[in-house]
Structure 1
């Protein structure tokens, strides 16, 4: 029997996909508990980080960095800055080092879009700050051209206002790369989730005394582990490795990033 044209077309056409049922909430175990409605901030964090892990192919690169020279320089700078009421943190110097590294390795100071690769000529560093309502990333704009005292003063102001929920949107939206430091919690090393649409984030672990080879002799040095997470759509592994190498070099010879 001849199949009618319309029937043949219907048979050849793929079946319409079944509507995806919304995910059901997880069953809550019968254990004493409290429940708190998700805040808009927490919902935004959940949405953006889920989007990042599901759509951005992350590549992770880790280096160990000797901190002794940076700590010595920080002490000397703080003595000179004391009359101005400025006290540099290690993180302030790492913000500067990351910014300088991005300018030195511009292939990592980028943003991926579906049809373009955006390359930035300025390093705006988003710095992860924990607040009572969740994580937020205030931005040090143009950190590559700012002095470390200016970075320190600005960072203290941004962090204080972030914790009081007083930041303006333009002070935490944007940025060309991020820095997340968990060393104060004793975390040795971690892999941070990229803050989209940025191309990379630097995760900083704790500085600690470790056995270390110095001039072919086993000694003890203050060492930290830093891990860069890179968007592999935009940044090749070799370029990410150059960024990590530049960051390590600047932190281990910190006077060069102040020039």
Structure 2
């Protein structure tokens, strides 16, 4: 009687593995595989000729067997999630005879992992660094942090920005982003300037000079004396525009922001003309009736917060101008005067310059000339 054919091998289950039928069998020809892969294949009945090796020169590793089993719809054994460090399920057996790479053994000692708890996927049947890390991760699951309810944001009033505020934001953001600012400070003695102001106001009742009026005149004259600070940067042409006359932009605070009306040719105008022009410009600015030519342009800016009690501050350059002067409050200070301590009225001014067009020495020369004019104000009358 004819012999009945052998039944086709069925899918095999062993130690958590489920090997698909298509992989079962034995290869008649030698297969290039790691010793551990060879032992594992023999244990599971896997035909290694059906496994593609991805190791050096096509050598088959345990990882290749795992991937092939998964690709055919089977399952591979995985470490069960380990208990906490004090769990009796952790192996306490001696692992000194476990074959492992030197790096894996050092890492296991550092992490407190028993090599008996590790899978073996390294070359030549050794526990690898990856095996140790996998065991450590399984034995030390990270507890999910409790989800905290987001703190409720405090209720805020939403104030849409008006056109002026948007324009200020855009221009000053551009200035800080593109113009490399540097700053220089100087302390100015105001005693002579205040005396001149009092004298003029007393002798000419129709004229009411402010300290700001005198400073506008002094700035205009200093800019003409040091013309390389009286400049704008023409980015399109990559050029410096230097001006003969000083058109001084003066920052004026408004409820919706600020605006900078311009005293044109401040270097040529008398103190009384500057005073009257500033009065007119500020009135128009607060009424919103300034014409574009009265606030667009300018070769240099000043911003005075001294009347608000600010001792010193840094101002942002008004592009395309090359510099701006921040003016602090006139304060009583104890200083050395003629070799003796004395109480003098002084003010700190801070010059912000665009380093693309103005260097430090030029800024210093401007402040030196401004100081000379402020401290010898009769020079402004010439």
**Interval containing the TM-score (normalised by the shorter chain):** 0.7 to 0.9
For residues 19-38 of structure 1, the aligned pairs below 5 Å read: 30-38=153-161
RMSD between aligned alpha carbons? 1.1
User: Which residue number corresponds to residue 344 of structure 2?
Assistant: 221
Shift of 1:112: 1.3
**Matched residue, 1:93:** 214
The aligned residue for residue 113 of structure 1 is 234
1:109-155 per-residue CA deviation (whole Å, 9 max, x = no partner) reads 11112321111000000000001111100000000000010000000
The alpha carbon displacement at 1:86 in A equals 1.9
The whole-number CA distance in structure 2 between the counterparts of 1:29 and 1:129 is 39
Cα separation, 2, equivalents of 1:223 and 1:75: 17
Deviating above 6 A after TM superposition, structure 1's stretches of 4 or more consecutive aligned residues are none
Aligned to 1:20: none
Equivalent residues in 2 for 1:239-250 (5 A)? 239-250=362-373
1:80 deviates by 2.1
The aligned residue for residue 298 of structure 2 is 175
- CA distance in 1: counterparts of 2:203 and 2:264, whole angstroms: 25
Q: Quote the residue 1:137 is aligned against.
A: 260
- Residue matched to 1:39: 162
SS of the aligned residue for 1:193 comes to: coil
Distance in 2 of aligned mates of 1:124 and 1:81? 26
* Of 309, 323, 330, the match for 1:207: 330
Higher relative contact order (CA 8 A, sep 6+): 1
Instruction: Please state how far the C-alpha of 1:30 moved relative to its aligned partner.
Output: 2.2
**Distance in structure 1 (CA, Å) of the matches to 2:289 and 2:224:** 30
Task: Give 1 or 2: higher strand fraction.
Answer: 1
Q: Distance in 2 between matches of 1:200 and 1:157?
A: 25
Secondary structure of the 1:31 match is: coil
Distance 2:204 2:359 in 1: 40
- 1:160 corresponds to 2:280: no
- Three-state SS of the structure 2 residue aligned to 1:42 is helix
> CA shift at 1:216, angstroms?
1.2
Equivalent-residue separation in structure 1 for 2:290 and 2:152 (angstroms): 38
**Structure 2: stretches of 5+ with no match in the other structure:** 1-150
* 1: CA distance, partners of 2:184 / 2:232: 18
Larger Rg: 2
Asked if 1:50 corresponds to 2:173, the answer is yes
CA–CA separation in structure 2 for the residues paired with 1:43 and 1:234: 27
Match of 1:122 among 245, 249, 269: 245
Determine whether 1:251 maps to 2:378. Answer: no
How many Å apart are 1:34 and its aligned residue?
A: 1.1
> How many Å separate the matches in 2 of 1:219 and 1:95?
28
Q: Quote the offset at 1:29 in angstroms.
A: 6.2
Where in structure 1 are there 5+ consecutive unaligned residues? Answer: 1-27
Tell me what 1:231 maps to. 354
Question: d(CA) in 2 for partners of 1:50 and 1:123?
Answer: 25
